[in-house]
Amino acid sequence: MCGIVGYIGSQEAQSILLDGLSKLEYRGYDSAGLAIYNGENIGFCKSQGRLADLKQKLETCLLPGNLGIGHTRWATHGKPSDENAHPHTDEQKMFAVVHNGIIENYAELKEELIAKGHVFTSETDTEVIAKLLSDHWDGSLVSTVQKVVQELRGAYALGIISEYEPDKLVAVRLASPLVIGVGKGENMIASDIPAILKYTRDVYLLDDGDMAVLTPDHVQLMRVDGTPIERETIQITWDVKQAEKDGYDHFMLKEINEQPRAIRDTLAGRIKKGRVDLSNELSISKEDLKNFERIHFVACGTAYHAGMIGKYVLEKLVRIPVEVDVASEYRYREPIVNERTLFVAISQSGETADTLAALKEAKRQGARILAITNVVGSSVAREADEVIITWAGPEIAVASTKAYTSQLIAVYLLGIYFAQMLETQSEQQLQTWVEELLQLPDKAASLLQPEQVEKVESYAREMSKHSSLFFIGRGLDYAVALEGSLKLKEISYIHSEAYAAGELKHGTLALIEEDVPVIALSTQKVLAEKTVSNVQEVKARGAYVLGVTNEADAELSKTADELISIPATLDLFAPVLAVIPLQLFAYYACLQRGFDVDKPRNLAKSVTVE
């Protein structure tokens, strides 16, 4: 979850590193630091807190030089502090290291190094790497790094510089993202593409076990055992403005408003002559589909909620049993997986550690792997047999919005495509679904008009005064309720829970008392009467109810205190529209309470450790 930037070239490294780190702030961090070679030695500047704190220190601690590494840390070993901030070094300060990930065997390595006389000044696992570099120095930075990584167990992306060879920047990747930016007379490393997009659009994406040696004029790729690698650069086509706020107060608000475009882009080129066509992306045949006995959707957080909707969609449309699992639990329940299992991994970043680990376990047991991700060339995408890219564009805010709705669109496309192949639905029904899919961008845009947004903002202003809030819904609405609750709690810190409305009488009603806010979703026609009955149950106990329903359904308005209407759509696609006012509700509740929308406490954008 940490952010890494490295630079080697002819320009002053400090400003470039700071600029790159600022583009990685969305990943979440508690401290930051730089190490820059000034022509004689490596200078360091580190600070607990935000990047602004580091910049303030640098006003009296300038670090000149053309070779350097920078880091934003999200604590895994040791509290946030100046001492625990990266980069880390050996006792003589001949090496500097930045690290993203976790070294699982750091404790035993640390004991061995202490026995040899090494002195540690931090609580981190990363300092072990710096001390190992010093301990194993053999006169070559490349071979020394290769020796060190052979001793490491765990996940890591590393950026390393040394006074011994100040013409090199070395990078290594294992189970933690790292990209190489290729420029003219300068080269860079970073945890994510936005950090280097200002300087180059040509990148190498490192695979697990890859190593890169950068000089100002050359990038040499190899495996950690020294085997050379030949690989083409990838050109990034993102508009730079996509990674900036573009006039909005916060990235989250910008990304909420980008959803009509993201939905349209994810649909683009995948509907031809009234049918879904994924044949250019997926190699799954009709015979393959008939062979699958089960489908597993596996993901974390918001992506898990997309998987819940995926279960409903594929079982309804394709008639194959579907299970949905939280990725962090998947491996430990000994799931029944074999070559007749289709494993669908959903991950915005494509680097989510738990999802990637679950994917690898399913693959080991013979499952066919399909990935739904927003990042081309990500770890999940590379490990998968099949990939559907969601074209949401870079998502910066920690709270996912446009990535989630794009995942839903990908799930719908997958379900309809499979149904076409297996002929499990009538052509008329399939055509109706496709036609409605194409209308979703405009319907989503209607929910972002000023009068609609102002209405949601007013509800959020009032309901955010409460310390606890509940969401209820049935069927697909239950999955949306879970996502709405997650959005609210992760950025506003209001205690929020979501329940299947039919479960209220089985214990949850005990929590309902006078004036407790309840957000009730009712967009599924077949369940509307049941949901209204559940709303009446909470109303009878004094709850204040805000309803979210299809504009064609007036039943909930007779019971709820206030109502948010979404455009009329087919029940199947209501989650795409119903979640948008809930995202806005969370956003404005957060603002009302005075918290940082884009950087909620204790959270990070890309969860690359278990």
Give me the active site residues, please.
2, 605
What are the contacts of 46-49 at 24+ separation with CB within 8 A? 46/82, 46/85, 46/86, 46/87, 47/82, 47/85, 48/80, 48/81, 48/82, 48/85, 49/80
Q: Which residue has the tokens 């040899």?
A: 116
Residue type, 303: A
> How many whole angstroms separate alpha carbon 343 and alpha carbon 359?
7
Helix or strand run (H / E) with residue 7: strand 3-8
> How many whole angstroms separate alpha carbon 572 and alpha carbon 71?
44
> How many whole angstroms separate alpha carbon 362 and alpha carbon 337?
6
Q: How many C-beta atoms surround the C-beta of residue 291 within 10 A? A: 13
Q: Most distant CA pair in the chain: distance in Å?
A: 79
Q: How many C-beta atoms surround the C-beta of residue 283 within 10 A? A: 11
CA distances from 354 to 160, 290, 294, 329, 357 (A): 27, 29, 21, 9, 5
Q: How many C-beta atoms surround the C-beta of residue 552 within 10 A? A: 12
Identify whether the C-beta of residue 316 lies closer than 8 Å to the C-beta of residue 306.
Answer: no
Per DSSP bridges, beta strands 562-566 and 544-550 are: parallel
CA terminus-to-terminus distance, the chain: 11
In this structure, the chain runs to a length of 610
3-state secondary structure 487-537: HHHHHHCCEEEEEEHHHHHHCHHHHCCCCCEEEEEECCHHHHHHHHHHHHH
User: What's the token pair of residue 217?
Assistant: 């004029």
> How many whole angstroms separate alpha carbon 433 and alpha carbon 412?
9
Query: To 10 degrees, the CA torsion angle through 284, 345, 576, 263?
Result: -70
